Amino acid sequence: MYDIAFLSFNEPNANNLYFKFLKKIANLPNRVYRIHGVQGIHQAHVAAAKLASTSMFWVVDADADVLPNFKFDTKLDPSEEDIVHVWRSKNPINDLEYGYGGVKLLPTNLTLNMDTSSPDMTTSISPRFKSVPQVSNITAFNTDELTTWRSAFRECVKLASGLIFGQISQETEKRLNVWKYNFNDKPFAEYARGGASAGEWYGIAHKNNPEALFKINDYEWLEIEFGKHIIMFPDLYPTDAQTLKHVCLERERERERERERERERELESLEVNFTIEQINRWKDAFREAANTNDAARLDTLLHRGIDEYSRGGASAGNWWRETYQDDPEKMQQITNDRFLVEEFYWHVENYTLEQFRPDPLICWRSAFREAANTTDAAQLDDLLYRGIDEYARSGASAGKWWGETYRDNAEKMQQITDDKFLEGEFYWHIENNPVEQFK
């Protein structure tokens, strides 16, 4: 007998139906286990497949009230074990009977390797699909306002967009109309109607947009849409529904606060790998490079920053300025310390710090030019004795001599703007004045 997985997320009646289900199948030989709280429809089914010990496994949804006469005793020929089997279920609000919410029998290995980017889970497992005409359960999705709306919305998006395998146009249209217009006196029927109406519109509007359709598997997004729909179309819902919109909005605010707390925790855990001083040097150099158009200053930041963190930050900041200098919103972002810390970790993950270690020729050349072009005693003193390494200090020494000797010679001063010329000077200088003396 194939294993049975009971899948639940946050459905209000999940526990009651699970224990009811366990009693119902107590005498069956099948192994039963529960998957609870996994975010994402596809991911929950993959998690169930990982625990399966049989080549196929049954899936019972958290809102499925399995009928007494349904037996989990199907045995397939090996040639059929790549087929997705879906039984029918009965809708408690509009009495429709088809595959929506029905018990499924899935190929274990194919489910493990399904395409998790596809909006419809069942059709992403296998191209082979079989609809079984027997009714397996009542889909008791009408347990509260949100769950009812969400269930109707998701199903009608699938119907209206053509996501469901083997859809027949006339049958689909009939089912959509029943979802929207046929109701009994069961609880939360108005929310099924509202969800169906919203789902039909969304499915038609985004029929050719897989990314938008995939959102129907995100329960947080669905809760936000539920709150929006109540606000936009109050006439579709009971008068007390307006109190729900405040609950939905507060839940979304709390989720955003929790996401921010999670980001803080992640960053705090990462910061143990770097000192605050290293991160601050990266941030300071990033901001300065992003906000300057002074070529000489940029050259200093990029090649003679105090260490690889400073030079890495300058490199990232230079790119940011070149890319976003005409975008005020992007330039404003870099005033936010938390944003820049996140950028720092992204940068050190994608660019090794070793590549920002100083290049001897570039350091020498940059210091040479700065020393040759200044008469500021304090600046010269800084270049000669506090340059980042012996090459920078050697270049400053040579540049100081050049400036003192040729400052009034325009032709000679023009020569040092030529990188090739200074490369020759660099090799001559380190051959005749070993850099060790500048350590």
| Residue ranges per structural domain of the chain | 1-140, 142-272, 276-356, 360-438
pLDDT, residue 153, reads 96
β-strand partners of 33: 5
Comparing CA positions, the residue from 389, 385, 394 lying closest to residue 433 is 394
What's the predicted TM-score (pTM) here? 0.56
**CA gap 145, 84 in Å, rounded:** 31
**CA gap 292, 297 in Å, rounded:** 8
Question: What parts of the chain have a pLDDT lower than 50?
Answer: 272
Query: Parallel, antiparallel, or unpaired: how do β-strands 3-8 and 56-61 relate?
Result: parallel
**CA gap 321, 287 in Å, rounded:** 9
pLDDT, residue 273, reads 67
β-strand partners of 3: 57
65: number of Cβ within 10 Å:
19
Please give the structure tokens belonging to residue 357.
């270690």
368: number of Cβ within 10 Å:
27
pLDDT, residue 59, reads 97
pLDDT, residue 290, reads 93
**In 94-223, at which residue ranges do the beta strands (DSSP E only) sit?**
97-98, 104-107, 129-139
**CA gap 48, 233 in Å, rounded:** 38
pLDDT, residue 84, reads 95
CB 35 within 8 A of CB 51: yes
pLDDT, residue 264, reads 66
Secondary structure of the chain in the HEC alphabet?
CCEEEEEECCCCCHHHHHHHHHHHCCCCCCCEEEEECCCCHHHHHHHHHHHCCCCEEEEEECCEEECCCCCCCCCCCHHHCCCEEEEEEECCCCCCEECCCCCEEEEHHHHHCCCCCCCCCHHHCCCCEEEEEEEEEEECCCCCHHHHHHHHHHHHHHHHHCCCCCCCHHHHHHHHHHHHHCCCCCCCHHHHHHHHHHHHHHHHHCCCCHHHHHHHHCHHHHHHHHHHHHHHCHHHCCHHHHHHHHHHHHHHHHHHHHHHHHHHHHHHHHHCCCCHHHHHHHHHHHHHHHCCCCHHHHHHHHHHCCCHHHHHHHHHHHHHHHHHCCCHHHHHHCCCHHHHHHHHHHHHHHCCHHHHCCCHHHHHHHHHHHHHCCCCHHHHHHHHHHCCCHHHHHHHHHHHHHHHHHCCCHHHHHHCCCHHHHHHHHHHHHHHCCHHHHC
409: number of Cβ within 10 Å:
11
Handedness of CA 33, 35, 41, 45 (dihedral sign): negative
